[in-house]
């Protein structure tokens, strides 16, 4: 149905696009299930190196969506991961705006748990934002998120692919020290978690530069609608000074769990947040059990007319006309051009047989006459005499001419 990589991964339909490539829903023919495949075109060496770094990550955690395998075909490479149907946190905020504090507490706890597993591998994510935090389609049940997109991730101590004066990340979610060119470190990721938490609580993207100005004069008060216990945790994540910030994801998670215990109970009249299936129906030709082969057209029933053979190319010989049926008159032979000699008729069979019979009977004189009668007759005497005379004259003239030389 679609393009296949390494004889195993069949692309079905695109579900997201980014600067480095596109994410497709794909069918894994070996594992017999749908997966997500991130396809990257080999545009330059830097992009390819980032791809190699990303696909090399193997972090097994329920709240981390790391690459599982990879394949290459011509000028494109891909790696695969589990398929997340619930979209991202950006979709949830777009659907509901500010989220209930207990719901936000559950999401932050899962995010910090996944980030702690990433940091335990010595990896700095460097791009924490709502669009990179994906959800399962759990409906109104307990949400389940996974941290994804390690395209900018870097192990501590590895060489950077950018110059010191430049930074990578999404504007609005980058820590202040990263904007100044500092080396990537774990507290920079925690700053991104704090901005995501504030985004979930207020329903609007925070202004990172304005927050830096506000924190210059001490920790500001909680924004409207944000419970104080949660704000203390969030404020500890978004401190502009990395030394005043939480140092580890595990420490921040412990503080969060303590803050959630202080929150008032959930409002029973509050509408639950539902995580919808954002992928929609499978495209035509695909079923939950995988892409279906295109069926062959049914064979027509009954006798079918034999198609005319294709006309041969080039000049063709003219076919002979069909032979007419029945006896045909013998065509006259062609008349030769110029004067023709008069044919001498052959002696008749009756005349020859009579001459032969006479030659066998009678007297010797009669038998001689009969034989003469059977022979052909010479020219008449009135023709022979002039011809002989002319021949004698020619002979005499020729003899005279010879004697004169």
DSSP assignments along 19-41, one per residue: SS-EEEEEEETTTTEEEEEEEEE
pLDDT for residue 257 = 96
pLDDT for residue 245 = 95
Which residues constitute the domain of residue 74? 4-83
Determine the longest span between alpha carbons in the chain, in angstroms. 175
CA distance 79 to 247: 32
**Running DSSP on this structure, what letter comes out for residue 216?**
T
- 43 and 171 inside one domain: no
Q: Which of left, alpha, beta for 13 (phi over 0: left; psi -120 to 50: alpha)? A: beta
Ranges of residues in the chain with a pLDDT under 70 are 1, 19-20, 41-56, 159-169, 295-382, 404-405
Cβ-based neighbours of 248, under 8 Å, separated by 6 or more: 116, 119, 186, 190
- Determine phi and psi for 194, rounding to 5 degrees: -65, -40
pLDDT for residue 231 = 96
- 105 and 244 inside one domain: yes
- Considering the domain boundaries, does residue 321 fall inside one? no
CA 223 to chain centre: 52
56 neighbors 245 (Cβ within 8 angstroms): no
Count of domains for the chain: 2
Q: Is 127 a catalytic residue?
A: yes
- Considering the domain boundaries, does residue 101 fall inside one? yes
- Considering the domain boundaries, does residue 211 fall inside one? yes
pLDDT for residue 350 = 46
Dihedral of CA atoms 292, 297, 298, 300 in degrees, nearest 10, equals 180
pLDDT for residue 302 = 62
- 62 and 110 inside one domain: no
pLDDT for residue 295 = 67
CA distance 77 to 48: 9
CA distance 24 to 170: 22
CATH number at residue 218: 1.10.510.10
Set 28, 127, 149, 189: catalytic member:
127
- Considering the domain boundaries, does residue 330 fall inside one? no
pLDDT for residue 348 = 45
C-alpha distance across the termini of the chain, in Å:
115
pLDDT for residue 129 = 95
Domain end, chosen from 34, 54, 83, is at 83
């Amino acid at each position: 149905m679609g393009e296949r990589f390494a004889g195993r991964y069949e692309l079905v339909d695109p579900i997201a696009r980014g600067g480095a490539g596109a994410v497709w829903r794909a069918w894994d023919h070996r594992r017999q299930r749908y997966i997500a495949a991130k396809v990257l075109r080999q545009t330059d060496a830097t992009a390819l190196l980032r791809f190699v770094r990303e696909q090399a990550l193997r972090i097994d955690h329920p709240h981390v969506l790391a690459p599982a395998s990879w394949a290459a075909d011509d000028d494109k490479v891909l790696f695969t991961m589990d398929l997340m149907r619930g979209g991202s946190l950006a979709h949830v905020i777009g659907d509901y705006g500010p989220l209930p504090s207990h719901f936000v507490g559950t999401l932050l706890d899962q995010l910090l748990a996944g980030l702690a597993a990433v940091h335990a591998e010595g990896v700095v994510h460097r791009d924490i934002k709502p669009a990179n935090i994906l959800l399962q389609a759990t409906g109104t049940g307990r949400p389940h998120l996974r941290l994804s997109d390690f395209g900018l991730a870097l192990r501590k101590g590895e060489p950077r692919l950018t110059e010191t004066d430049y930074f990578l990340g999404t504007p609005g979610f980058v820590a202040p020290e990263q904007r100044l060119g500092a080396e990537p470190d774990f507290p920079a990721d925690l700053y991104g978690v704090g901005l995501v938490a504030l985004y979930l609580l207020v329903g609007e993207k925070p202004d990172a530069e304005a927050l830096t100005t506000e924190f210059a004069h001490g920790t500001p008060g909680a924004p409207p609608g944000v419970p104080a216990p949660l704000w203390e945790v969030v404020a500890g994540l978004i401190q502009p000074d990395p030394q005043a910030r939480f140092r580890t994801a595990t420490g921040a998670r412990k503080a969060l769990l303590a803050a959630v215990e202080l929150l008032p109970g959930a409002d029973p009249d509050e509408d639950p947040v539902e995580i919808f299936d954002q992928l929609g129906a499978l495209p035509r030709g695909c079923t939950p059990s995988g892409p279906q082969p295109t069926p062959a057209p049914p064979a027509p029933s009954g006798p079918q007319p034999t198609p005319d053979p294709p006309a041969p190319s080039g000049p063709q010989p003219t076919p002979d006309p069909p032979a007419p049926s029945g006896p045909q008159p013998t065509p006259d032979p062609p008349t030769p051009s110029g004067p023709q000699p008069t044919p001498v008729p052959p002696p008749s069979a009756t005349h020859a047989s009579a001459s032969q019979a006479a030659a066998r009977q009678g007297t010797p004189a009669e038998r001689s006459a009969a034989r003469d009668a059977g022979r052909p007759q010479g020219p008449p005497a009135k023709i022979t005499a002039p011809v002989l005379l002319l021949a004698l004259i020619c002979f005499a003239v020729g003899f005279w001419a010879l004697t004169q030389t």
